[in-house]
Amino acid sequence: MTKTAADIMEKNVITAKKDTTIFDLVDMFVEHNISAIPVVDDDNTVIGIVTDADLLYKEVKPHVPQYVNLLGANIYYGNLKEYEQGFKKLFACTAGQLMTKKVVMAGPDATMEDLASVMVAEHLKSIPIVKDKKLLGLVERKCILKQLYTEYGEDDPEPQTT
């Protein structure tokens, strides 16, 4: 039987508000040993997500994109948008300033296979599970791994020794 997001998701999700401070976010990540915190409004609607990787921007200076000056015009090799986003995160003080606003979300009926495929393709560690954009739970990589272990780990034969 194919498992769905509702079957494997973590239901007790640590969340933040837009005005949650960076210091409080760090405390939440460390205290709860999590890799992502959905940012929700007063109606529990997902408006963004902060990951542990977002907090690393606080320690890394954005790299200025390389460019060449051709007849007085700067032509950039790199992505200026990435530089701008990194610069904004460097000076962010709240979850609202640091969060990623374009959040990949899934419904409770999404299959485990679909969730895993999106996580691999988009390099995601977690996906908020929502209904009408209201947070129901969170599927992290470890949720999928636990389910795989439950399905396949117990049926493995004992290793042969000679």
User: pLDDT for 110-133, tens place per residue?
Assistant: 999 999 999 999 999 999 999 998
Helix (H, G, I), strand (E, B) or coil at 21: strand
Q: Tell me the residue ranges of DSSP E strands in the chain.
A: 36-40, 46-51, 67-70, 73-76, 126-131, 134-140
Asked if the structure places residue 162 within a domain, the reply is no
Asked if the structure places residue 160 within a domain, the reply is no
Dump pLDDT digits (tens) for 68-87: 555 666 555 555 455 455 54
Question: What does pTM read for this prediction?
Answer: 0.74
Asked if the structure places residue 129 within a domain, the reply is yes
Q: What are phi and psi of 106, to 5 degrees?
A: -140, 160
CATH of the domain at 113: 3.10.580.10
Asked if the structure places residue 16 within a domain, the reply is yes
Asked if the structure places residue 159 within a domain, the reply is no
Query: Which residues constitute the domain of residue 116?
Result: 5-154
Domain total of the chain: 1
